[in-house]
Amino acid sequence: MSEFEKEVKKAEKELEQSLMPLDAEAGYTGHQSDEFLGEIKMQAQEYGKKVQDAAGKAYDYARENVAQVGDKFKELTAKDPKELIEDAKEFARQKPGQTILISAAIGVVLGLLLRGGRR
């Protein structure tokens, strides 16, 4: 018998031992296993409900934000380009620090995109 066949036999024996039904000799009764399975089922149902609640909240949050983004997009498309430039200048006057940070971030992203396109 080859080494491989010995390992296969050993694995089969271990598998058979792990698949043996629980009996009274092992200290488990049918009542205990039913109780244990009932607890697991209750926990699974509880986690399922929590996941459904979280998914519902995420859906509502996404729907609200998509609506807000849609409204902003409609506002921007309705404005004249000159108005947009004036709004940008006004924002830069009110918040120069944020304007610099936003400009730097846009520059980094554009630089990465342009450099990545040459490779």
pLDDT tens per residue across span 89-112: 999 999 999 999 999 999 999 999
**Three-class secondary structure of residue 107 per DSSP:** helix
H/E element holding 48?
helix 30-78
Radius of gyration of the chain (CA): 32
Is the pLDDT at 50 greater than 50? The verdict is yes
* pLDDT higher than 60, residue 27: no
Tell me: pLDDT of 4 over 80. no
Place of tokens 């997009």: 73
**Average pLDDT of the segment spanning 7-35:** 64
State the pLDDT confidence band at 5, using cuts at 50, 70 and 90: confident
> CA 46, CA 5: separation in Å to the nearest integer?
46
**Rounded to whole angstroms, how far apart are CA atoms 96 and 116?**
30
Rounded to whole angstroms, what are the CA distances from 88 to 15, 94, 95, 107, 108? 70, 10, 10, 17, 20
Q: Which residues of 19-43 are buried (b: 16+ CB within 10 A; e: fewer)?
A: eeeeeeeeeeeeeeeeeeeeeeeee
Q: Reply yes or no on whether the pLDDT at 24 is more than 50.
A: no
